[in-house]
Chain A
Amino acid sequence: MAQATFEEISASDFFYRNRDIAGFTNPSRAIFAAIRELVENSLDAAESQKIPPDIYVRLSFEAEATKDTQIYKLRVEDNGSGIQPRFIPSAFGQVLYGSKYKLKQMRGTFGLGGKMAVLYGQITTHQAAYVTSSTGQAKIYSFKLMIDIQRNRPIILDRKVLINKDQWRGTIVEFSLEGDYLRAMPKILEYFKQTAMVNPYANLTFVDPKGRLYKFTRATTEMPEPPKETLPHPYGVDVELLQRLIQITPYKTMAEFLKYHFHRVGDITAQKFLDFSGVSPSKNPKRLSHEEIVRLMQNLKRFKEFLPPDASCLSPLGEELLRAGIQKELKPEYLVVHQRKPSTYAGHPFIIEVGIAYGGEIPKKGSFVLYRFANRIPLLYDEASDVSFRVINSMNWRRYKVSPDMPIAIVVHICSTKVPYKTVGKEFIADRAEVRREVANELREVARQLQHFLSKREHVDREKKRLGIFAKYLPKIAQFSASLAGKEKLPDVDKLIKSVQKYGAEET
């Protein structure tokens, strides 16, 4: 696969040299990224088994490193699927080895996160990582690992096998790394809070180096349907993917090749497409020349009759879970959530879910608080570049009687097999027309409902205030007039006050 002419470098070597790509830019970012990658692996591992995740994260101080950084030990435990013993060394000791190179909605897609964290720990502390896991079978396997960076291979330093008396299932990862927790702390805590918001069925526990405990308790054990694996949609393929498919295909005709390797292509669509592009249905795909492959790719994008991708490969949170998550973390007075029908961009299906929360414990900040999520991951950086931020800023909120100085939080969640991130840092969603339109329509929908709520509340408040005025003054009129008239007995005004309540609008 590697075709370098002058010097071959391994994948781990490449990421060692370019660790910015994976988010390990500086000591504070690195510690945040390490926690985040491992937590997300753990969430995926539990969700794949339809088990409500229980994740325990502990960061403990080991030693001073430099003026601004320290050595910490990071331990992440989960109750997920566990990893079969033969895969453990590679899963944590070999970059770009993983279970995520398939087309369905997943949190990570590089197969990079967990390994990068371990790799980063190794290069900053020269210490081994410990991985303990069981799939719930009879045994628990425990490995002490390092990565041979140049060869991108795990080195097993020690291996233990324990009897799994309690049928424990899950994975524990523990390793040391250099970082700057103090600077990373606000983001890390925000990360846990937002992760809890968008994974309301998860228990998250974090113990920080000062020994402080942060606990995020699940609000439900309901979990969203896990996504189904899917084939690539014709609109989304490139030449490289076509070539790979041709290499591995067992099918001998173009008709079968199209039908079995692409999403939503059947006999009829395959036939129509081949007519459209002037390729014989019986042609053997392995006989296609390079030029023919390029033309085929272009025609795939040009052909108008492919059905849009279906969304079974997506696993949105759903309105109920989104509501539960926002309710438990933000405790608003009013909350409305909405999920739109699946849509697509460039052959990739996506679903937008939004929520808008008002009042309660949401602070007044002079601007809306925006929470962004992609495939159930909180996005914490580069807010101003995100499509949601731009849509919110360009919306005419006054139309909805909503203003930024109200205590309002907006939650936007995008689910996709390929989230349209703008940069490798994966921190914000690109401003693509299809996505922008969906986000905008979604926000308008919830804004309308918020407006309805606000005006109803205003009406109730006004009514309450109105009744309050009568209840305050009528007894006084009774008192004053009785005194003037020289009467002992006060006239009874309760009936009058009640009558105001019954008939709504007698004001002129």
Chain B
Amino acid sequence: MEQKKPKSRVAEKKNEVVASLKNFGTRIYDQLDKGVFPTISMPSRSTENIHYDPHLRQFILGDKSVSRSARNIRHVKPFTQLSWAAMFSNELTTQRKTSTLRDVYYSAQAYNMTFKDQQESNNIITDLETVTGYSREDFNIFPEERSAVFGDLTIEYTVPGYEGKTLNLTSHPDGVLIGPALTSSEFTHTTADKVIAIEKGGLFTRFIEENVHKKHNALLVLTAGQAPRQTRHFIRRLHDELNLPVYIFTDGDPWGMHIAMVIISGSANAAHLRELNTPDAVWSGVWATDIVNYKLPTDPLDDVDIKRLYELQKDPRYQNDPLWQREIKTFLKIRKKAEQEAFSRYGLTYIVDEYLPTKLKQTT
């Protein structure tokens, strides 16, 4: 099998992140030192400033910017919170510690910086992302959700205590958690030639049991529902650094379809960030047309499903590829949905032996 020498970005990026935080602090410090009220400006995240960029194939923020001034009574508190969040993130990244959004909320209290609630502290972290252009995972602030990866990829840790240690991602049959240690690792070696992202844990386990990673020479990624941002970024790295094509398998319903879309084109909430999406990834199934072609057992679409389909039909992310419009129309026509497990009607291995190879070929 062909071996690849991946290009590393991890260490380089860490330095950029720390520099951007320091730069942010210095800007405020210099203004205060000159005896003026510090102000900062950042792109506006209001809905009217979020645009879909067909070229980048993701949402981006427009030209509108908002400015925060410490002289404004309504800004001074969030301004302080933002400075605190920057300092806290700086400590995390330089001391190589990780934290969660919940942690952030509580840590602020140690500085007598209370947040009204979790939402307020989350917003401040999003502000910090907008100001610096880096996502919170870059500041070592991770969400609670976890997803997993399995396959022949050897990584090298950069987290304290593990520096230089390597791990092959086939070493644990349940897969390896996509957590802070993994996402900050360098990719050193792989024999895989594709990535398969799977929505559900049951199918992920089935694929491992059935040796899909060997049979199809693939890295398997469990998104566990809507993929967390760090997982989306991880998939992007697998694609960019290892040049692997990405195939996504979800349930055959509007929600599964959209899980795939967010991996491909990102979300409006993350319009201020880059590199969380993988524009070249493809949705391989379960399509509405698969439901028809494979005569899968189905449930009827309910009102919420249908409402969602009409929303997605107008969504700019769904305009590029005729595939999406065709599938939406088919869903609306058959008014049915099917889960990935529905293939079990043809036996437990049918999905691996028959469906998967067919679809991989079809979407390559």
A: residues with CB less than 8 A from B are 466, 469-470, 473-474, 476-478, 480-487, 491-493, 495-496, 500, 506-508
Contacts and interface: CB of A to CB of B under 8 A. Distances in A.
B29 A470 contact: no
A277 to B, nearest CB: 75
Given A491-B29, A493-B32, A495-B35, A480 B76 contact: no
A459 to B, nearest CB: 14
Given A484-B87, A492-B35, 16 more contacts: A473-B76, A476-B83, A476-B84, A476-B111, A476-B112, A477-B79, A477-B83, A478-B29, A478-B32, A481-B83, A484-B22, A485-B25, A493-B32, A495-B35, A496-B36, A507-B73
Contacts of A500: 71
Interface string B346-357: 000000000000
* Secondary structure class of chain B's binding surface, majority of residues: helix
A153 to B, nearest CB: 82
A478 B90 CA distance: 16
Contacts of B86: 480, 484
Contacts of A480: 25, 28, 80, 83-84, 86-87
B171 interface: no
Interface residues of B, number: 31
Interface of B: 21-22, 24-26, 28-30, 32-33, 35-38, 70-74, 76-77, 79-80, 83-84, 86-87, 90, 111-113
Contacts of B111: 476
Given A469-B73, A484-B87, A486-B22, A476 B80 contact: yes
Given A473-B79, A484-B29, A506 B70 contact: no
Contacts of B70: 473-474, 477, 496
A250 to B, nearest CB: 82
Contacts of A508: 72
Contacts of A477: 28, 32, 38, 70, 76, 79-80, 83
Interface hub of B76, B112, B113 (most chain A Cβ within 10 A): B76
A470 B26 CA distance: 21
Contacts of B25: 480-485
Contacts of B73: 466, 469-470, 507
A408 to B, nearest CB: 31
Nearest to A475: B80
A481 B77 contact: no
The 10 closest A-B pairs by CB, nearest first: A484-B25, A491-B32, A481-B28, A480-B83, A485-B29, A481-B29, A485-B26, A473-B80, A480-B87, A491-B33
A470 B32 contact: no
A475 to B, nearest CB: 9
A481 B71 CA distance: 16
A240 to B, nearest CB: 74
7 contacts: A469-B76, A477-B70, A481-B26, A481-B83, A485-B25, A486-B22, A493-B32
Contacts of B84: 476, 480
A202 B42 CA distance: 71
A477 B72 CA distance: 14
B4 to A, nearest CB: 39
B311 to A, nearest CB: 36
A14 B74 CA distance: 77
